[in-house]
Amino acid sequence: MKIGIIGSGGVAKTLAGGFLANGHQVTLGTRDAEKLADWLAAAGENAAVGSFAETARFGDVVFLCVRGEAAVDAVALAGAENLAGKTLIDPTNPLDFSNGVPPKFAAAVGDSLGERVQRAAPDARVVKAFNAIGAAIMVDPRFGDDRATMFIAGDDDRAKKETAALAAEFGWDVEDLGGIDQSFFLEAFASLWINYGFKNNHWTHAFKFLKR
């Protein structure tokens, strides 16, 4: 599969490495290709670097791996027309670091970041996923015999199936919470993960959903 990843930070590079290891083709989207020269040289023949728009055009599936406050602008730079009809996986969270850490949660019911992304790319099939976990275990969610749970949300069932399949390649158990309006709760849930991390200086934790 061709996977475009808009962004070039730790989350983007972690996902890129995981997908490359699983045999996918990956393009990282950046505003400064030179800063990814070393990464590209080490990543292998299935890796490439491009602009946000080039990355959006390349991907069969596209990930939005930028800071939450930059998410809507990144979609604009990628071009809504380049994302039309594609699964757009959104791991971003609406976080306000203006008063330090832990950050404040900066969204409201009906105006989650996932919903803003969907409005910015109305013809994309947006799925909120990969947002309540850190890069350290994003592509390796196994804890002994247990597998961590990833919750996802989006309006398009096919897009959610594609997202779940990619997550399952890494070992995630996936639970579907419903439509993109559920992004608010997933983003608030991510704050629980984030607040625990800052309180305990521990960043390799994850959630497991138990059912009977």
Per residue in 72-118, pLDDT (tens digit) is 999 999 999 999 999 999 999 999 999 999 999 999 999 999 999 99
Which CATH architecture is the domain 2-200 placed in?
Answer: 3-Layer(aba) Sandwich (3.40)
Distance (Å, whole) CA 60 – CA 45: 18
Task: With 0.85 as the threshold, say if the pTM is over it.
Answer: yes
The rounded radius of gyration (Å) of the Cα atoms in the chain is 16
The residue-averaged pLDDT of 160-181 equals 99
- Among 47, 59, 54, CA closest to 29: 54
Distance (Å, whole) CA 169 – CA 84: 25
Biggest CA–CA distance in the chain, Å, is 51
List, in sequence order, every beta strand (DSSP E) within 66-122.
87-90, 95-96, 104-105
Own/partner pairs for 160-165, CB < 8 Å, 24+ apart? 160/127, 162/61, 162/87, 162/127, 163/61, 163/87, 163/89, 163/127, 163/129
Write out the two tokens for 48: 């490439």
Cα→Cα distances 182→63, 159, 161, 188, Å:
19, 15, 17, 10
Quote the pLDDT of residue 85: 99
pLDDT tens, 117-165?
999 999 999 999 999 999 989 999 999 999 999 999 999 999 999 999 9
Quote the pLDDT of residue 133: 98
pLDDT tens, 7-46?
999 999 999 999 999 999 999 999 999 999 999 999 999 9
Write out the DSSP string of 115-137.
Answer: HHHHHHSTTSEEEE-S-SS-GGG
Quote the pLDDT of residue 108: 96
Quote the pLDDT of residue 104: 97
Quote the pLDDT of residue 1: 98
